[in-house]
Amino acid sequence: MEQSGDIDLKAGLALAQLAEGAIISGRVDGEEAVLVRRGKDYFAVGAACTHYHGPLAKGLIVGNTIRCPLHHACFSLRTGEALHAPALDPIACWRVEVALDKVFVREKLSAPQRAESVALPAKSPASIVIAGGGAAALAAADMLRRCGYSGPVTMVSADDVPPYDRPNLSKDFLAGTAPEEWMPLRSAQYYVDRKIELVLNQRVTAIDAARSVVSLGDGRQLAYGTLLLATGADPVRLQIPLSGAARIFYLRTFADSRAILAATESARAAVVVGASFIGLEVAASLRARGIDVHVVGLEHVPLERVMGRDIGAFLRNLHESRGVTFHLGQSVSHVDGKQVTLTGGATLQADFVVLGVGVRPAITLAEQGGLAIDRGILVNEYLETSAPGVFAAGDIARWPDPHCGDRIRVEHWVVAQRQGQAAARNMLGLREPFAAVPFFWSQHYDVVINYVGHAEKYDTATIDGTLESRDCAVTYRRGERTVAVATISRDLQSLQAERAMETTVNPI
Ligand X SMILES: Cc1cc2nc3c(=O)[nH]c(=O)nc-3n(C[C@H](O)[C@H](O)[C@H](O)COP(=O)(O)OP(=O)(O)OC[C@H]3O[C@@H](n4cnc5c(N)ncnc54)[C@H](O)[C@@H]3O)c2cc1C
Window contacting ligand FES (CB under 6 A); options: 49-57, 308-316, 368-376, 461-469: 49-57
Q: Which of the stretches 157-165, 179-187, 320-328, 477-485 binds ligand X when contact is defined by CB under 6 A?
A: 157-165
Nearer to ligand X, 77 or 87 (CB): 87
Tell me, residue by residue from 56 to 75, as one string, x for binding to ligand FES by CB under 6 A and - for no binding.
------------x-xx-x--
Task: Work out whether 232 is an interface residue with ligand X (CB under 6 A).
Answer: yes
Q: Which does 71 bind (CB under 5 to 8 A by kind): ligand FES, ligand X, none?
A: ligand FES
State yes or no: residue 441 binds ligand X (CB under 6 A): yes
Binding to ligand FES by residue 104, rule CB under 6 A? no
Cα–Cα dist 418/87, whole Å: 10
DSSP of 332-352, one letter per residue?
EEEEETTEEEETTS-EEE-SE
Helices and strands in the chain: count of H runs, count of E runs: 11, 38
Q: Which does 68 bind (CB under 5 to 8 A by kind): ligand FES, ligand X, none?
A: ligand FES
* Residue 65 near residue 83 (C-beta atoms within 8 A): yes
One residue of 54, 90, 308, 361 binding ligand FES per CB under 6 A: 54
Span 170-189, contacts to ligand X by CB under 6 A: 170
Instruction: Tell me: does residue 260 bind ligand X (CB under 6 A).
Output: no
Residues 478-507, interacting with ligand X (CB under 6 A): none
Q: Which residues contact 356 (CB under 8 A, 6 or more apart)?
A: 235, 250, 251, 272, 273, 274, 276, 278, 279, 282
> Read out DSSP for 216-276?
ETTS-EEE-SEEEE---EEEPPP---EESS--EEE-SSHHHHHHHHHHHTT-SEEEEE--S
167 lines the binding site for ligand X (CB under 6 A):
yes
Residue 179 and residue 175: Cα distance in Å, rounded? 10
Closest of 351, 237, 245 to residue 292, by C-alpha:
351
How far is residue 506's CA from residue 500's CA, in Å, rounded to a whole number?
13
Q: Would you tell me how many other CB atoms lie within 10 Å of the CB of residue 374?
A: 9
Q: Name which position in 292, 310, 395, 498 contacts ligand X (CB under 6 A).
A: 395
CB closest to ligand X, residue no: 134
Q: How far apart are CA 465 and CA 495, in angstroms?
A: 17
Interface stretch with ligand FES, choices 51-59, 314-322, 388-396, 397-405 (CB under 6 A): 51-59
- CB-nearer residue toward ligand FES: 68 or 147: 68
Binding segment for ligand X (CB under 6 A), chosen from 91-99, 125-133, 318-326, 335-343, is 125-133
Selected from 49, 275, 342, 348, the binder of ligand FES by CB under 6 A is: 49
Which of 26, 69, 394, 453 forms a contact with ligand X (CB under 6 A)? 394
Residue 24, strand partner residues: 3, 35
Among 59, 90, 125, 133, binds ligand X (CB under 6 A): 133
CB distance 449 to 311 below 8 Å: yes
Distance CA 271, CA 74 (A): 39
Q: Return the residue of 89, 336, 381, 411 that touches ligand X, per CB under 6 A.
A: 411
Q: Does residue 382 interact with ligand X by CB under 6 A?
A: no
169 touches ligand X by CB under 6 A: yes
Indicate the DSSP class of residue 151.
S
Q: Please state, as a whole number, how many other Cβ atoms lie within 10 Å of the Cβ of residue 453.
A: 23
Rounded CA-CA distance 17/36 in Å is: 11
Q: Residue 214: which of ligand X, ligand FES, none does it interact with, CB under 5 to 8 A by kind?
A: none
Interface residues toward ligand X, by CB under 6 A: 131-137, 156-159, 166-167, 169-170, 203-204, 230-233, 251-252, 278, 362, 365, 394-395, 411-414, 416, 440-442
Interface residues toward ligand FES, by CB under 6 A: 49, 51-52, 54, 68, 70-71, 73, 86-87
